[in-house]
């Protein structure tokens, strides 16, 4: 949320379905997924989608959140565990 704008959480540029399609294609090709996330709602959306997946890349992280700005403490804990 932006200071002074309680109902403004930024602009989402993707959907859960598009993230799930990207994950499916990355899994098929054996590559990792990198996603840009600015703001607590963006980070929440990505973590919620990624958390349902089992890793498929063996020698590197399967998921990478680029510029994970303003995540909540709860999401940071979820991301690292």
* Number of domains composing the chain: 1
Query: Cα(12)–Cα(73) distance, rounded to whole angstroms?
Result: 21
Q: What mean pLDDT is predicted for residues 63-74?
A: 73
Residue 69 within any structural domain of the chain: yes
Assess if residue 73 is contained within a domain. Answer: yes
Please write the tens of the pLDDT for every residue from 16-67: 899 899 999 999 999 999 988 877 777 788 888 888 889 999 888 888 888 7
Choice between 22 and 12, residue whose per-residue pLDDT is larger: 22
Q: For the residues 72-76, what does the mean pLDDT come to?
A: 71
- Report if residue 11 sits inside a domain: no
Owning domain of residue 35: 16-80
Residue 27 domain-assigned (yes or no):
yes
């Amino acid at each position: 949320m932006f200071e002074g704008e309680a109902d403004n959480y930024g602009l989402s540029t993707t959907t859960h379905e598009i993230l799930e399609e990207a994950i499916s294609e990355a899994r098929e090709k054996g590559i990792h997924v990198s996603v840009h996330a600015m703001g607590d709602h963006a980070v929440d959306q990505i973590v919620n989608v990624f958390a349902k997946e089992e890793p498929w890349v063996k020698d590197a992280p399967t998921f990478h959140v680029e510029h994970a700005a303003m995540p909540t403490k709860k999401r940071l804990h979820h991301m690292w565990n």
